Amino acid sequence: MSEYSYLGYGNGNGHGGRTAPGPAMEGSWYVRRGRIDRRTYWLHYALPLWAASVAAIWADLALGTAFYRTSYESYGYYSYSTGTSFAGGLFTLLVTFALFAPSISAAVTRLHDTGRSGWFLLWGLVPIAGPIVLFVVVGCLPGEPGRNQYDGAAYPGRREPQLATW
């Protein structure tokens, strides 16, 4: 399977070609399994997610729904300081909730490409060093050549509906 199989590119037989995506994956940004390379991660996940976040912040600021505070302090005739803090707004909150699962999913599949478990994302909780480690590992390191323990069908194909058993 190609790393672009979930987008409908490549039919898994090594000859490429565009195939019709299955109904479960059509228009899906949510990768459930497999591996993705650095190029796919940056072009199909990281940059679009970043652009959506910037657009949401811009919309909040333009529509006046952003929560921000400005301060001005004077310490005498020649000394003063100003500051602005931004805490987001309604659009930023909605985009954050909408893009949370796809961003985690993309990071986990990228970690799988480097041979690491999804639990490696817990490095993000370590102050200062954690986000730097994740940026380097997820965004910059090449994937493992060949197969690894996380290889799976990036495009599982059509599954027959199953009845729920309670």
pLDDT, block means (10 residues), the chain with 166 residues: 44 40 47 80 93 94 85 74 83 94 92 93 95 96 88 53 65
Strand residues in the chain grouped as ranges (E) = 66-74, 80-89
Burial of 120-145, coded b for 16+ CB within 10 Å and e otherwise, reads: bbebeeeeeeeeeebeebbeeeebbe
pLDDT at 9: 43
pLDDT at 166: 64
87 HSE (CA, 13 A, CB side): 4
pLDDT at 2: 45
pLDDT at 28: 56
Structure tokens at 46: 């990281």
pLDDT at 159: 53
Distance of CA 156 to the CA centre of its chain: 21
Q: How far apart are CA 160 and CA 43, in angstroms?
A: 32
Indicate the Cα dihedral angle 57, 60, 62, 68, nearest 10°: -90
Q: For residue 48, what are the contacts with CB-CB under 8 A and spacing of at least 6?
A: none
Q: Where are the domains of the chain?
A: 35-140
Q: How far apart are CA 40 and CA 22, in angstroms?
A: 20
Cβ-contact 155, 149 below 8 angstroms: no
3-state secondary structure of 87: strand
Q: Is the pTM of this model over 0.95?
A: no
Structure tokens at 43: 């072009």
